[in-house]
Amino acid sequence: MTKEEFHNEKMYQATMGVVRRMHSEGLISQEEYARVEQVFLEKYKPLIGSIYAGMALTPCPS
């Protein structure tokens, strides 16, 4: 993994962490989540994150 790929992966994961939290708190719908996910997949082109893209969201343990 190059430095640029690593940077893009970090940015994607950090961004999607915030988006997942927004979804879990009811601030955005599943449809909005899917649209945002697609935008950031296209922007960052993550290597690892793309494997998990589109998977069902599960609640985070408390």
pLDDT in tens, 1-55: 899 999 999 999 999 999 999 999 999 999 999 999 999 999 999 988 766 666 6
DSSP symbols for 18-30: HHHHHHHTTSS-H
Neighbours of 61 (CB within 10 A): 4
**60 found inside a domain:** no
**59 found inside a domain:** no
Number of compact structural domains in the chain: 1
Which of 59 and 18 is assigned the larger pLDDT? 18
pLDDT in tens, 44-58: 999 887 666 666 656
Q: Taking the model in full, what pTM does it have? A: 0.77
**38 found inside a domain:** yes
**13 found inside a domain:** yes
**23 found inside a domain:** yes
Which of 1 and 60 is assigned the larger pLDDT? 1
Domain that holds residue 42: 3-52
**29 found inside a domain:** yes
